[in-house]
Amino acid sequence: MQWTDYISPLMQGAWVTVQLTVFSTILGAVLAFVFGIGKLSSNWAFRAISVAYIEVFRGTSLLVQLFWLYFALPLAGTAMGIDLRLPPVLAGVLALGLNIGAYGAEVVRGAIAAVHQDQHEAARALNFSARQTLWGIVIPQAIPEMMPSFGNLAVQNLKDTALVSLISLGDLTFRAEQIRNFTQDSTTIYSMLLVMYFGMALVLTAIMRGLERYATRWRTARS
Amino acid sequence: MSDPIIKFDKVVKRFGDLTVLDALDFEVMRGEKVSIIGPSGSGKSTVLRILMTLEGIDGGLVTVGGEPLWHEPGPDGLRPASEAHLRKMRAQLGMVFQQFNLFPHMTVLRNITEAPVKVLGLSKADAKLRAEELLERVGLADQAQKYPHQLSGGQQQRVGIARALAMRPSILLFDEPTSALDPELVGEVLNVIGQLAEEHDLTMLLVTHEMRFAREISDRVCFFDQGQIREEGTPEELFSDPNEDRTREFLKAVLD
Ligand SMILES: Nc1ncnc2c1ncn2[C@@H]1O[C@H](COP(=O)(O)OP(=O)(O)O)[C@@H](O)[C@H]1O
Ligand SMILES: [Mg+2]
């Protein structure tokens, strides 16, 4: 077998990696906003849940979270008489999204808290409600502050997807391992793996830069 | 004479151990143009910020349009105001800030239309019409599509004035509107404020260090010192012939 024969199976794996990355990053972004805002909420229950979520998922490793969702949750479900077996893809997306969301929530919280008090006062003087102030005034100004960190987290997330191969999900790393077991051609396969992950990271970085430019276009407007 | 539109009745305001307003009594009549002068830290901004509901009070009573601002009637007398009450009261007031506080992520036009649309429920078209009229009035009709950072400080402050006016307040509060401006840009902002001062119905409260301007446009000038009105009167009385030594010292210091 030649290296060109590896391309097709590796591309299949890469497609799974892309899907995992996209879905878990979107899930992570939603969770980041919900719990980042929650941590600043005046409602103590919402605040407590947000703090608990952020601390638990930042304080334990992604691998343990993944194993827990995939192996332990179904057993806990059996004990309670409910079926909590998750398909590997769902377990992977959930674990990755929950993990990246916890880090993202801290980014969202920090960026929202950094918006100047003056802006809150101007909003109050114009009689905006608390919700209108948050979504119309504060968050649009906080998003540009979040974007560089979000870009880093998204790339981190892409690299973390390799862990899901441990629950037999056919992602890029899993496929590479399969071929390697079969051919023993470690050097070629791992080199290709490296290049493919790097390529995907480049594309992802470019996408995040694009989003960042979009979110900050008001800052760079020229007369 | 009619009832005052603004009334401070023995109002106390503290920040920790510091008593900023110490049983302040202060009244403003409807349509009156009042300038507040005084040394830094004397509580001038605090008076405006209490009216704009940016700061609460620790004692006494503030009424706006005859209704308590920081209180509302309850089963046994007055109780602290709810957010709903504050929202209702706030509709009468507008504020122009020293640092402009424009929304940097919105165009000039959006800065002015956003609150009328979202808070007053105006249609986008009506709000735009209203904004364009106001921009015309403050001399910025051609800047509607710019972002605040593309404007000079004087232009930004004129947008700030238009933004406050778009909500049609009956009371407009100015907290040192020209203090953050380069000297050559002060005039254009004072011109706009001066025009507003001609409006019969609008009540204006202006904290300023521009003594000559205060003298020109005010019906009354109040000299604040240590959280009290040390002296007040017509501009003539206060600037030409102050009674108090403190007033005289202050005027001498700022006019030199
Ligand atoms: N949020 C605050 N916390 C603590 N002290 C404050 C606060 N706001 C104002 N002060 C103090 O209250 C006093 C009056 O402030 P201010 O009303 O801003 O004065 P002025 O506008 O006349 O310069 C000052 O001594 C100021 O330091
Ligand atoms: Mg002040």
Interface predicted TM-score of the whole assembly (ipTM), two decimals: 0.95
Q: Which residues contact B68 (CB under 8 A, 6 or more apart)?
A: B61, B62, B78, B81
What is the rounded distance in angstroms from the CA atom of residue B171 to the CA atom of residue B199?
12
CATH number of the domain enclosing B228: 3.40.50.300
CB neighbours of residue B177 within 10 Å: 26
Q: What is the mean pLDDT of residues A176-185?
A: 91
3-state secondary structure of B95: strand
User: Considering the domain boundaries, does residue B69 fall inside one?
Assistant: no
Query: Is A107's pLDDT higher than 80?
Result: yes
User: Considering the domain boundaries, does residue B71 fall inside one?
Assistant: no
Q: What is the mean pLDDT of chain A?
A: 94
Query: Is B62's pLDDT higher than 60?
Result: yes
pLDDT category of residue A2 using cuts at 50, 70 and 90: confident
Residue nearest to atom 12 of ligand 1 (CA): B20
Angle at alpha carbon of residue B170, lines to B124 and B22, rounded to 5°: 130
Domain membership of residue A163 as a residue range: 3-222
The answer to whether B98 and B179 have CB atoms below 8 angstroms apart is yes
> By percentage, how much of chain B surpasses pLDDT 90?
95
| CB atoms B87 and A221 under 8 Å | no
CA distance, residue B114 to nearest chain A CA (Å): 9
Nearest to B150 among A119, A126, A221 (CB): A221
User: Considering the domain boundaries, does residue B137 fall inside one?
Assistant: yes
For A65-75, the pLDDT digits (tens) are: 999 999 999 99
User: Considering the domain boundaries, does residue B20 fall inside one?
Assistant: no
Q: What is the pLDDT of residue B3?
A: 83
pLDDT category of residue A220 using cuts at 50, 70 and 90: confident
Query: Is B1's pLDDT higher than 60?
Result: no
Q: What is the pLDDT of residue A199?
A: 96
Domain membership of residue B45 as a residue range: 31-54+89-255
| CB atoms A219 and B101 under 8 Å | no
Most B CBs within 10 Å, among A127, A131, A219, to test the B interface: A127
Most A CBs within 10 Å, among B46, B103, B173, to test the A interface: B103
Q: What is the pLDDT of residue B104?
A: 97
Q: Is A124 on the interface with B (CB under 8 A)?
A: yes
Query: Is B2's pLDDT higher than 90?
Result: no
pLDDT category of residue B142 using cuts at 50, 70 and 90: very high
Question: Dihedral sign, CA of B176, B179, B181, B183?
Answer: positive
Q: What is the mean pLDDT of residues B92-110?
A: 98
Looking at per-residue pLDDT, the higher value among B36 and A3 belongs to B36
Q: What is the pLDDT of residue B74?
A: 87
Q: Which residues contact A51 (CB under 8 A, 6 or more apart)?
A: A39
Closest CA relative to residue B100, chosen from B112, B87, B92: B112
Count how many domains chain A has.
1
What is the rounded distance in angstroms from the CA atom of residue B194 to the CA atom of residue B198?
7
The answer to whether B59 and B245 have CB atoms below 8 angstroms apart is no
When mean pLDDT is compared across B11-15, B77-81, B127-131, B162-166, the lowest value belongs to B77-81
DSSP A78-121: HHHT------HHHHHHHHHHHHHHHHHHHHHHHHHHTS-HHHHH
Q: What is the mean pLDDT of chain B?
A: 96
3-state secondary structure of B55: coil
The answer to whether B230 and B248 have CB atoms below 8 angstroms apart is no
Q: What is the mean pLDDT of residues A106-110?
A: 98
What is the rounded distance in angstroms from the CA atom of residue A36 to the CA atom of residue A54?
9
Ramachandran bin of B144, using left for φ above 0, alpha for ψ from -120 to 50, beta for the remaining angles: alpha
Ligand 1 pocket check for B155: Cβ under 6 Å: no
What is the rounded distance in angstroms from the CA atom of residue A95 to the CA atom of residue A30?
14
Q: What is the pLDDT of residue A191?
A: 94
Q: What is the mean pLDDT of residues A42-60?
A: 96
Beta bridge partner(s), residue B12:
B59
CATH number of the domain enclosing A37: 1.10.3720.10
Count how many domains chain B has.
1
CB neighbours of residue B212 within 10 Å: 10
Q: What is the pLDDT of residue B76?
A: 87
Looking at per-residue pLDDT, the higher value among B77 and A32 belongs to A32
Residue A163 burial by CB count (10 A; 0-12/13-18/19+): exposed, middle or buried? buried
Looking at per-residue pLDDT, the higher value among A170 and A123 belongs to A123
Q: In Å, how far are B114, B119, B143 from B192, measured between CA atoms?
A: 22, 25, 16
Which helix (H) or strand (E) is B86 found in, with range? Answer: helix B83-90
Looking at per-residue pLDDT, the higher value among B161 and A3 belongs to B161
| CB atoms A219 and B115 under 8 Å | no
When mean pLDDT is compared across A205-209, A217-221, B182-186, the lowest value belongs to A217-221
Ligand 1 pocket check for B39: Cβ under 6 Å: no
Q: What is the pLDDT of residue A3?
A: 84
Query: Is B178's pLDDT higher than 90?
Result: yes
User: Considering the domain boundaries, does residue B5 fall inside one?
Assistant: no
Q: What is the pLDDT of residue B56?
A: 96
| CB atoms A126 and B105 under 8 Å | no
Q: What is the mean pLDDT of residues B123-127?
A: 98
pLDDT category of residue B255 using cuts at 50, 70 and 90: confident
Q: What is the pLDDT of residue B165?
A: 98
